[in-house]
Amino acid sequence: MTVASTNDIKNGTVLNLDGQLWNVIEFQHVKPGKGGAFVRTKLKNVTTGKTVDKTFNAGAKVDTATVDRSDYQYLYQDGEDYVFMDTKTYDQINVPASVVGDAANFMLENQEVTIALNEGTPLYLDMPASVILEITYSEPGLQGDRSSAGTKPATLETGYVIQVPLFVEQGTKVKVDTRTGDYLGRVND
């Protein structure tokens, strides 16, 4: 753990506040006409995902945590854990399902992800913004249902269910937003 000034805070910095790790999502240095300058931040708890707003006096000392981000390849699920391989060193690590979270809905074997580690402990996964997955099950659309108004549930090859337009059929590859689970469009092979 290192000590830094609030003037060094930037997006992606991980702070150690009261023994918990917080990722800086947004920050703003404010210098009002009266009084001292301060830094307004939006912080996300690395383990729980909770978001809070916190204000620091400018120049105040804060503890920062060292977070190493490395590229990994998803190999397989082992019980409750997911096994990943470092793409540079070929070392394998087990990541608990609680850390993987919703990313499991969009991961296939060999999927590339970035894993943030603090002293060897996995903190969170960064997925690509979107992934391409195949629809393995979907009710057939009725003839004439080609309007963009309606949607229907469709099961992806990972087992996750998303809403797609009525014209999308089983076997179609679709682009899916990994942050929201929204359908982004069809992908032509």
What is the tens place of the pLDDT at every residue in 135-184? 999 888 665 555 556 888 999 999 999 999 888 889 999 999 998 999 99
Tokens describing residue 188? 């032509």
Give the single-character DSSP code of 159: S
One fold for 2-64 and 130-187: no
Q: Residues 37-51: what's their mean pLDDT?
A: 88
Cβ neighbours, 10 Å, residue 30: 12
End-to-end CA distance of the chain: 48
Task: Kindly list the domain boundaries of the chain, sorted by start residue.
Answer: 2-64, 68-126, 130-187
With a CB cutoff of 8 Å and minimum separation 6, the contacts of 105 are 156, 158, 159, 160, 181
Q: Residues 19-32: what's their mean pLDDT?
A: 90
**pLDDT for position 148:** 53
Question: Which band of pLDDT confidence, cut at 50, 70 and 90, is reported for residue 12?
Answer: confident
**What CA–CA distance (Å, rounded) separates 51 from 47?**
11
55 pLDDT higher than 90: yes
Q: Residues 107-131: what's their mean pLDDT?
A: 90
**What CA–CA distance (Å, rounded) separates 182 from 174?**
10
**What CA–CA distance (Å, rounded) separates 121 from 105?**
22
Range 24-32, long-range pairs (CB < 8 A, 24+ positions): 25/51, 29/58, 31/58
**In the CATH scheme, what is the code of domain 2-64?**
2.30.30.30
- What CATH fold (topology level) applies to the domain 130-187? OB fold (Dihydrolipoamide Acetyltransferase, E2P) (2.40.50)
Note whether 138 and 152 are within 8 A (CB): yes
Its pTM stands at 0.74
Class of domain 68-126: mainly beta
